[in-house]
Amino acid sequence: MALFRFTPKLPTPPGVGASCLRKKYTRHTCRACADACPVKAITFSGVSVSISETDCIHCGRCLFSCPSGSLLNLQAPLRTYHADTLVAPFSALAPDTDELLMWHHEYGIRRAALDIDENSAWALAIAALNIRLRKFNEPVWEIIPPDTSSVNRFRRHLMQVANDEVKSGRATADRRERRRGFRRYSEYALSLSTARCTVCGACARVCREQALSFSENALEWSSTRCTGCGTCAAVCIPKAITIEPQIQQSYTERIPLIRKTCTCCQHLFNTVNAEQARCHICLRHQHNMREA
């Protein structure tokens, strides 16, 4: 009769945390993780997001695409490098540009030692990376032949031969960190309709990166900080904000505010539209029901 029963600890299945933009803001339509998933393991149902444990291949692409870092129990792929070069083994599924950008920024990787015929997907991924790096005015990567004279790493492990020159690591899956790494250029542009904007301030309050902010005299937009999450556009009731991918030199835009007196409630309010006569609260009362 067995005195002890061993129950193996099963790995925690991947999931989506409370910081998910679709969970926090019911009007948000973010689907960055699902669009990045190569096996369509991520599905939506209303405000809920689920990841199929059986379908997920743990490639990490969703991690690098998520603007809020809300994915749980997943890790970025472990990769091997030597100095400034990624080396074998290479995964069958090549990384996307967002991951390779972090290898460029964090580890200073500038080359990949691979056989193009055997790793054609990787060659295409590096070509896509180089297109982005040129837009960032950064040095592009090279593909060099692998060193076939080196000792097989599996045999080296069996022989317990140390190899301090070859290291392994994971890139940081964080859009905020990517913005810090490439601050000279922005990846997103904001369009603001002054005819629609009511200066209610909702966009600035929900911006976790503080890319949008209100001062006493102006609305300021910092393209350097923006991670493209689109939350400002999701909470904007009059649909005055649009965030679109656009690589350009970083800039700060300052939109002056005009101080006026509401013709309905007689309260002072700010606006970006010189023709606007009512404050943002009175504008939501279509029949002038708000009293002074």
Which whole number is the average pLDDT over 88-103? 96
Most confident of 143-147, 153-157, 167-171, 214-218: 167-171
Per-domain residue ranges of the chain: 15-72, 79-171, 182-258+270-276
Whether 91 shows a pLDDT value over 70: the answer reads: yes
Q: Are 197 and 240 in contact (CB under 8 A)?
A: yes
| Structure tokens belonging to residue 177 | 């960190």
pLDDT grade, residue 164 (50/70/90)?
Answer: low
The per-residue pLDDT for 126 is 98
For residue range 23-35, list pLDDT tens digits in order. Answer: 999 899 999 999 9
Q: Are 65 and 35 in contact (CB under 8 A)?
A: yes
CA–CA separation, 192 and 244 (whole Å): 12
The per-residue pLDDT for 274 is 85
Side-chain-side CA neighbours of 153 within 13 Å: the count stands at 12
From 141-145, 152-156, 264-268, the region with the lowest mean pLDDT = 152-156
For residue range 39-74, list pLDDT tens digits in order. Answer: 999 999 877 899 999 999 999 999 999 999 999 999
pLDDT grade, residue 6 (50/70/90)?
Answer: low
pLDDT grade, residue 280 (50/70/90)?
Answer: confident
Whether 158 shows a pLDDT value over 70: the answer reads: no
β-pairing verdict for 79-82 and 241-249? unpaired
pTM for the complete prediction? Answer: 0.85
pLDDT grade, residue 161 (50/70/90)?
Answer: very low
Q: One fold for both 15-72 and 182-258+270-276?
A: yes
pLDDT grade, residue 264 (50/70/90)?
Answer: confident
150 Cβ contact list (under 8 Å, min separation 6): none
From 129-138, 170-179, 236-245, 260-269, the region with the lowest mean pLDDT = 260-269
Whether 292 shows a pLDDT value over 80: the answer reads: no
pLDDT grade, residue 286 (50/70/90)?
Answer: low
Which whole number is the average pLDDT over 85-89? 96
Q: How far is CA 112 from CA 115, 117, 123, 156, in A?
A: 9, 14, 9, 21
Q: Are 190 and 242 in contact (CB under 8 A)?
A: yes
From 3-12, 66-75, 182-191, 257-266, the region with the lowest mean pLDDT = 3-12
The per-residue pLDDT for 165 is 85
CATH code for the structural domain at 182-258+270-276: 3.30.70.20
CA–CA separation, 57 and 39 (whole Å): 8
pLDDT grade, residue 290 (50/70/90)?
Answer: low
Q: Which fold has domain 15-72?
A: Alpha-Beta Plaits (3.30.70)
| Structure tokens belonging to residue 188 | 């997103």
